[in-house]
Structure 1
Amino acid sequence: MQFTLIAVIAGLGGLLFGYDTGVISGALLFIRHVFHLGPTMQGVVVAIALAAAAVGAAFAGSLSDSFGRRIILLITALIFIVGALVSAVAWSVAILLLGRVLVGAAIGVASMLTPMYLSEISPPEKRGAIVTINQFYITLGIVVSYGVGFLLSHGGNGWRWMLGLGAVPGVVLFAGMLTLPESPRWLAGKRREDAARRALIFLRGREDVTDELSALRQDIAREDRATAPWSVLFEKRARRPLIVGIGLAIFQQVTGINTVIYFAPTIFLKAGLPSASVSILATAGVGVVNVVMTLVAMRLLDVAGRRKLLLWGLAGMLVTLVILSVSFMIGLHGSLALVTVLSVAAYVAFFAIGLGPVFWLLIAEIFPLAVRGRGMSLATISNWTFNMLVSITFLDLVHGFGRGPTFLIYAAMTLATIVFTWFLVPETKGRSLEEIEAALEGEEKLAA
């Protein structure tokens, strides 16, 4: 029970991520009229936070390796609070963009650091479910933001409350992290073994942590973990983790998930739903599907395995994207709105059991401890960079090619992801982080 509470508190970083990525979809319907934004500037309002997230992720790895996971998460929570409040009171596009930059930097750090911290405090047999708490919180934050968007969609200044309420999870994360210990793996890597022992005792709720501490010592003895240079990431032993981490980071975005998260109300309006409120309500329904299927993934990741769920999820995404694309291209008239909502819901469901949680879990598992922060940082930078590129180009692609061909492009990217996963992505179910590192250094297949 104690460890579950600890994981729940630590996972709140995902709630920051989820709320802000979701809330802009509803707020954008009103912001575009208040500030008279065209399609390109709407994309900028979304994408500038993603660019800032990439920058935040770029610094998060080195900062967390130097100063610790806990202190950086505390600072991140404070930045998010300030950014949410600045966005809410924005009286010009420039101030709105400033707030979005602050919020984006914070969620970039949180998106990288939260799964890392969770993976490092988790016992091997529970790591899949515990790290996926982060993904659950992301989906919960998204659906909460949709619900808030619907409730506030009838007032002219409701968008300010939508953005400002994002400060609340920041306050909760800050308060919660004050009660938690530093990562015992990071402490041991800094040769602070007494502190690492105390952290393990707190996390496990028992005095006997000798075996786990001994495993940490053996891992650290293989090299100087505290001062490993960036060049370690590009050595042969880290090559496969780097390819897998960055590859999945890119594929998670170019398969189109955040076009749905950010622009679902806009997509549903174009498909024929009658109003902004109804479109936001339909989007909230999709968000609920996302939460429910993430809970399913939490139960299955440590049973079925990471790789199997990833492949099944990608296959489902491919089918639903093709259906969505064909529906838009042939035009189903009165049925188009229903087919669109159902296809988007199914697409999100398959993403939620596969590519959504598995990417974040794997990058928290596969990098060597010596450069885990830096490796996750590079993967997260890639993720946010392509998130930005996909988001800023989506409306222009739709305008230039049409909705059907645009979603067909994302379907082609999903097929490429299936091929990549089949040949390169390892199975890590049930192995300790030390065993995974040793196996990948030896270029073992790590298959189920």
Structure 2
Amino acid sequence: MPSKKQTDVSGGDRQPDETPTFCSLENLKVAQVQVVGGTLNGFSIGFVAVYAYFYLMSTDCSMYKKEVACNRVLNAECSWNGTRGECGWNGFTCFWGHGKDKTPCLDDSRCKWVYSDEECKNPTGYSSSYNGIFAGAMIVGAMIGSIYAGQFAARFGHKVSFLIVGIVGVVSSVMYHVSSATNEFWVLCVGRLLIGVVLGLVNVACPMYVDQNAHPKFLHVDGVLFQVFTTFGIMFAAAMGLAIGQSVNFDKDTKMDARMQGYCAFSTLLSVLMVALGIFLGESKTKFTSGKHEDDGTALDPNEYSYLQMLGPLAMGLVTSGTLQLTGINAVMNYAPKIMGNLGMVPLVGNFVVMAWNFVTTLVSIPLARVLTMRQLFLGASLVASVSCLLLCGVPVYPGVADKNVKNGVAITGIAIFIAAFEIGLGPCFFVLAQELFPRSFRPRGSSFVLLTNFIFNVIINVCYPIATEGISGGPSGNQDKGQAVAFIFFGCIGLVCFVLQVFSCTRGRRALLRTTETPTKSPRFQNSSRRLRLPPLATVKPRECVVWHRVRRETNISYGKIKRKTRVQDCVAADDTAKTALSIAGVVRWGWRAAPDRAKRHPAFFWLRATLLLSDSN
């Protein structure tokens, strides 16, 4: 029989009335992981657009307005033309040679035709292939890092994991600095690949640490903080880019080398904070037998379930990743600055406006996480995001459907709604669901799989989206609105399909629960409901087995018959902390049950509450 002593999920002694506050030191110690890890993740994501624009500024001679500035352009050979009073390239300035004459410009390999401005210009910044490599290097690295991220954290612990993240992050940042000083593109790409590998670990380890150590009251609120601070990191990257970039005076020496070095320094600072986190953070209170706690009787066995046994939850993880990425968030974030540019905003300002809206909408997820389940929030947001993609960003943008002013207005509204839906529900809930889809012992491997599929979809969208939109539009000279519209219609349809699959999964799980025909023989308070929920007989089930049964049933969404064949006494010992959690909250749950109306008691969501009360009564 379990001890009468009440213990929480973290393993410490706590009475029901000793619940900590959100701003308590106990909770902040857990939340700091999300703050530092999420900010580093977000800044690394937002780094690409700003750094690429800084590099463009360091190669575009035409931007410099005075001779002193023209002669000190960082990454291009420029010369001042006294007759024209303009800055040009040493070899050949395309605009001076071809102007707005398209045919000779296209025939000249030194030049490129800019369709938006309808004039001939010298190539500046990174080429399209280099931009793709620069943007994709981190994602490929994250995909590699996420494969064994969960197993690594379970084996070596979170302290070692965060310490490795910080050290590799510092090395990566040093490579940024070297690339900026020497104009070595491939050094920059290797640095991005390295930071991607450890960010794959961050995306798994940070939510896992919170899942294992947060107080049950703040589990979901602390869980959504990873996405909140990821968007904060993206906005911070845009804000620093705006502050550094908008202060450039093209009439004087712009000192672009110092500006680019200063921007890279923020990545170094965040990596150092990760090192400090790894040094001073307390170890997770959940232990795994694959690590240094192999002889600990309370440690969880990460090999308890095979991938075949977890096929259902893994499939739902795949659908969840598809909902997150295949609804086109990366395409929207790429399309939004372009629309802002069409409204007359300079690139850095438009980028900051979009990222600020991205961050502000994420804050709404914090109070919603207190009143809604993660699945409810995720499903509602996926429906709104899919509909906005289809009906606002897709159909009205197709050529001939609406005039230009209506098209831009509707598209901007659609993008704003899509970003809000994504950051309120899809993004924050994803990292929590990546843990909760699986039993506790399988979460290191399960969450790694979900994050791996997420990054695979991310790569697919980043690579295929620009190619597909250009091809559908009829090439670079075609109407790009056609490709954009078809892409967003596709994103909306994919989102709706994923929404239906997830709703069907929830409905099937609920029906499986209602098909159990036996009723409990204990706790007469359950006999008051005329349409009571039928449960399996618990008189013959040991108390801890009861907890294991309802916990595994809730987390795997499979029928009681399958669980009954798998439940063993060893499962109860391995899930000792789960049993203690049920006992510790029994007093609070009992009060909530008495206060709840009969209609609420009949809802399947109250099953875990009934099982908890029966467990406490059996003691």
One of 135, 154, 157 as aligned partner of 1:65: 154
Task: Give the AA of the match of 1:145.
Answer: A
**Structure 1 residue 20 corresponds to structure 2 residue 44:** yes
What is the CA–CA distance in structure 1 between the aligned matches of 2:289 and 2:25, rounded to whole Å? 22
How many residue pairs get matched?
412
Cα-to-partner distance string for 1:257-287 (whole Å, 9 max, x where unaligned): 1223456434543xx1335xx3332332332
How far off its partner does 1:309 sit? 1.3
CA contact (8 A) 2:162 2:277 kept: no
- In the TM superposition, 1:199-238 aligns within 5 A as 217=298, 225-226=300-301, 228=303, 232-236=305-309, 238=310
1:329-348 aligned within 5 A: 329-330=398-399, 332-334=403-405, 336-348=407-419
1:417 aligns with 2:498: yes
Pair 326,422 (structure 1): closer, same or farther in 2 beyond 3 Å: same
Task: Pick one of 303, 307, 312 that aligns with 1:240.
Answer: 312
Query: What's the offset of the Cα at 1:20?
Result: 1.2
For residues 81 and 263 of structure 1, the distance between their equivalents in structure 2, rounded to whole angstroms, comes to: 32
Q: Distance in 1 between matches of 2:361 and 2:413?
A: 15
Q: TM-score, normalised by structure 2?
A: 0.61
Query: Aligned partner of 1:2: which letter?
Result: L
Q: 1:329 is matched by which residue type in structure 2?
A: Y
| 2:164 aligned to which of 51, 62, 75 | 75
8 Å CA contact 2:382, 2:426 repeated in 1: yes
C-alpha change, 1:88 and 1:233, in structure 2 (3 Å) is: farther
Q: Paired residue for 2:328?
A: 256
Deviation at 1:424, TM superposition (A): 2.2
Q: Which residue of 1 aligns with 2:225?
A: 133
Alignment check: 8 A CA contact 1:14 1:134 kept:
yes
Select between 413-422 and 366-375 the one with higher mean Cα deviation.
366-375
**CA deviation profile, 1:49-108 (whole Å, cap 9, x unmatched):** 101101011121221121112211221122122213312431222112111101211211
Q: Are residues 261 and 165 of structure 1, via their aligned partners in 2, closer, same or farther at CA, if it must alter by over 3 Å?
A: farther
2:254 pairs with 1:183: no
d(CA) in 2 for partners of 1:111, 1:9: 14
TM-score normalized by the length of structure 1:
0.82
Secondary structure at the aligned position of 1:37 is classed as coil
The reply on whether 1:403 has 2:495 as its aligned counterpart is no
CA distance in 1: counterparts of 2:446 and 2:434, whole angstroms: 8
On the 8 A contact 1:244/1:425 being kept in 2, the answer is no
Work out whether residues 145 and 200 of structure 2, in 8 Å CA contact, stay in contact via their aligned partners in 1. Answer: yes
Distance 1:66 1:24 in 2: 33
**Corresponding residue for residue 459 of structure 2:** 388
Higher gyration radius (CA): 2
Query: Hey, what does 1:203 align to over in structure 2?
Result: none
Q: Kindly indicate whether residue 36 of structure 2 is the aligned counterpart of residue 3 of structure 1.
A: no
Question: Conserved in 1, the CA contact under 8 Å of 2:167 and 2:271?
Answer: yes
Instruction: Give the counterpart letter for 2:467 in structure 1.
Output: D
Give the drift of 1:124.
2.0
Residue 127 of structure 1 aligns with an amino acid whose one-letter code is L
Counterpart of 1:184, as a letter, is K
- Per the alignment, residue 84 of structure 1 pairs with 173
Which residue in 2 is equivalent to 1:293? 361
Q: Separation in 2 of the partners of 1:351 and 1:227?
A: 32
After superposition, the Cα gap between the structure-2 partners of 1:336 and 1:387, relative to the gap in structure 1 and judged at 3 Å, is same
| SS in structure 1 of the partner of residue 372 of structure 2 | coil
Q: Say whether the 8 Å CA contact 2:56–2:125 is kept in structure 1.
A: yes
Aligned to 1:165: 266
User: Equivalents in 1 of 2:265, 2:407: separation in Å?
Assistant: 35
Distance 1:442 1:337 in 2: 44
Q: Does the 8 Å contact 2:27/2:214 carry over to 1?
A: no
Structure 1 residues 390 and 337: alpha-carbon distance in aligned structure 2, compared to 1, 3 A threshold: same
3-state SS, counterpart of residue 153 of structure 1: helix
Output the CA distance in 2 between the equivalents of 1:328 and 1:27: 30
Structure 2 letter corresponding to 1:6:
K
1:439 and 2:554 are equivalent in the alignment? yes
Contact 2:288 2:302 in 1 (8 A): no
| Partner Cα distance (1:302, 1:56) in 2 | 32
User: What residue identity is the alignment partner of 2:30?
Assistant: A
Question: Kindly, what percent of the aligned residue pairs are identical?
Answer: 23
| Correspondence for 1:308 | 376
Query: Which structure has greater helix proportion?
Result: 1
**Counterpart of 2:354 in 1: which secondary structure?**
helix
- Structure 1 residues 433, 52: closer, same or farther in 2, change over 3 A? farther
- Counterpart-to-counterpart distance in 2, 1:382 and 1:332: 39
Residue 398 to residue 143, structure 1, CA distance change in 2 (3 Å): same
Code of the residue aligned with 1:328 in structure 2: it is V
Unaligned runs of 5+ in 2: 1-23, 60-123, 249-255, 473-482, 511-546, 561-602, 606-619
Indicate conservation of the 8 Å contact 1:57/1:108, yes or no.
yes
Asked if the contact 1:60/1:377 (under 8 Å) is kept, the reply is yes
Mapped partners of 2:433, 2:549: distance in 1: 14
Residue correspondence of structure 1 range 28-107 to structure 2 within 5 A: 28-31=52-55, 34=59, 36-90=125-179, 91-107=183-199
- Indicate how the Cα distance of structure 1 residues 27 and 403 shifts in structure 2: closer, same or farther if over 3 A, else same: farther
- Deviation, structure 1 residue 119: 0.8
Q: CA deviation at 1:191?
A: 8.3
**Could you list the runs of 5+ residues in structure 1 that have no partner in the other structure?**
197-215
Cα 1:56–1:298, aligned 2, differ >3 Å: closer, same or farther? same
Q: Does the CA-based 8 Å contact 1:9-1:173 persist in structure 2?
A: no
Distance change (3 Å), C-alpha of 1:80 and 1:267: farther
How far is 1:396 from its partner? 1.6
Match of 1:273 in 2: 343
Counterparts of 1:382 and 1:110, CA distance in 2: 16
Partners in 2 of 1:76 and 1:163 — Cα distance?
A: 17
The residue type paired with residue 274 of structure 1 is G
Give the 5 Å matches for 1:113-128: 113-128=205-220
> 1:324 is matched by which residue type in structure 2?
C
2 CA distance for matches of 1:389 and 1:372? 25
In 2, the alpha carbon distance for the partners of 1:392 and 1:267 equals: 21
**Which deviates more from structure 2 when the two are superposed, residues 48-57 or residues 102-111?**
102-111
Secondary structure of the residue that 2:245 maps to in structure 1? coil
Q: Which residue of 1 aligns with 2:386?
A: 318
Task: Report the secondary structure of 1:292's partner residue.
Answer: helix
Tell whether the 8 Å contact from 1:136 to 1:295 is kept in structure 2 after alignment. yes
Give how far 1:305 is off: 1.3
